[in-house]
Amino acid sequence: MDSLVIGVDSSTQSTKAAVVDAASGRLLAVGRAPHTVTGEGGARESDPEQWWAALAEAVAAGLREAGAEPAAVTGIAVAGQQHGLVVLGSDGRPSRPALLWNDTRSAPQAVALTDGLGGPDAWLRRTGSVPVAAMTAAKWRWLCENEPRVAAAAAGVRLPHDFLTERLSGAAVTDPGDASGTCWYSTATGAYDAELLDLLGVDAALLPEVAPTGGTRVGTLTASAADTLGLPAGVAVAAGTGDNMAAAVGLGLGAAGLLDHPAFSLGTSGTVFAATRVRPATAALAGFAAADGHGTYLPLGCTLNCTLAVDKVAALLGLDREDAAPGGEAVLLPYLDGERTPDLPGASGLLTGLRHATTPQQLLGAAYEGAVFALLRALDELPTATGAGDAPLRLVGGGSRGRTWVETVRRLSGRAVVLPRTTELVALGAAALAASAATGDDPVALAGVWRTGEGETLPPVEPDRATLDRIAAVLDRATPALLTTQGHR
């Protein structure tokens, strides 16, 4: 019987469970289950118990679709949405809904934390990142100030993937990749930073242990988890990681694979990242660690507004998402949920450049252009090795399957674009971590053998400088006003 592994992608909107042949990396099936996100204004919350129920539902659906025997499964790993704050009570269960990465209520706390350590450079030296509303540290401070009884009664503090891994294995554990998105873990030392924990008011005893890698075997399924999932109790459980780190593994980015080759992830949020040996030190990026355990970094720029924002504009115009044309003179900055890169958590969408001749299709095209432009600005901040500055962009996420997204990236970037044949790269990266936990093999090297990051390469085209310059001019004029209205200095 072939050995199978399960890679779980627990994202903002849903859980996917990929059933994968451990030897070849062949994707046999993907089970799915939805999540519910609640909140108005800047609030975005989910019940972590819902994630656990969705994980069980997705695993069962994946095994059923694959026609696989549960006894063939040898490993499982979870890749989760980053930064979310899960607070556990004394019974080990969540004491309130999780604060999600895109909850922007903690923007004032992020500013205060930045000042509290002496400014952005002090944070960059220690964590590689400057606090923004998305970071877990800012959310913890928000909780302490707004729900002090909940914070004082906390018996555990977890990230989303930590919570699920603990449900699977009983082990309170995280990995360097996801831990590096908290702003209380130091990428300089590879450990929690005691001074930052004191500044934040976080007891180190509340935090999970940091495993050496995301593929580290942290145990096996507990009897309860095995019963819930319908799997053998001896299945190896990996430490797991954050969703962006798992996508990098799935693409084969890391010390055992490609270095300094950038990826664009076009999903609810947009991200641009690369695995590099260079420890980043710029406030424009989150200076994450990778999940591979080889001292690799994963500098990343993240925008809150990507496919979801563009789809909203399409719905407002009554258009299909592919019924778009280049924006012409119109510029649309789609900051419908505030923005993270640039750091404008209180911003709203901005439309300018309308003419009598402007068409609805051009307005939709302008929304695509605004979203892609934000990612390209983050791309410019990535540290790259000599000769890799013009490496092809690897497009992943739901948007990578959309013709207009692909062509907008090509037209504005002027770079070649790789479209991996495999679409579920976060889940496949998690599957490689699961296989690593079961066999001890390097997960990035496994992904290389599986060839999950390979696909069609589209040649470069001449960059649309006029559109790039037009959007840049609007953003540069608008940013001071946006900062002023949000109370930034």
**Residues 428-469: pLDDT tens digits?**
999 999 999 999 999 999 999 999 989 999 999 999 999 999
| Token pair for 59 | 């695993």
121 carries an active-site annotation: no
Question: Which CATH number among 3.40.640.10, 1.10.260.40, 3.10.20.30, 3.30.420.40 corresponds to the domain 4-256?
Answer: 3.30.420.40
- Please give the model's pTM, rounded to 2 decimal places: 0.90
In the 8-state DSSP scheme, what is residue 206? G
Residue corresponding to tokens 């990749």:
177
Domain coordinates in residue numbering, the chain? 4-256
**Residues 57-93: pLDDT tens digits?**
999 999 999 999 999 999 999 999 999 999 999 999 9
CA–CA distance, 343 with 217 (Å, rounded to integer): 37
CA–CA distance, 358 with 70 (Å, rounded to integer): 57
**Residues 198-217: pLDDT tens digits?**
999 999 999 999 999 999 99
CA–CA distance, 486 with 202 (Å, rounded to integer): 28
CA–CA distance, 276 with 258 (Å, rounded to integer): 9
Answer for the pair 76, 237: CB distance below 8 angstroms, yes or no. Answer: yes
pLDDT at residue 341, rounded to an integer: 81
CA–CA distance, 55 with 471 (Å, rounded to integer): 41
From residue 110, give the alpha-carbon distance in Å to each of 142, 183, 353.
9, 10, 34
Residues with Cβ within 8 Å of 159's Cβ and at least 6 positions away in sequence, in order, are 80, 82, 83, 84, 85, 86, 136, 174, 178, 179, 181, 182, 242
Q: Which of 9, 162, 178, 243 is catalytic?
A: 243
Provide the 3-class DSSP secondary structure of residue 156.
strand
Mean pLDDT confidence for 350-371: 97
| Run of H or E including 174 | strand 173-174
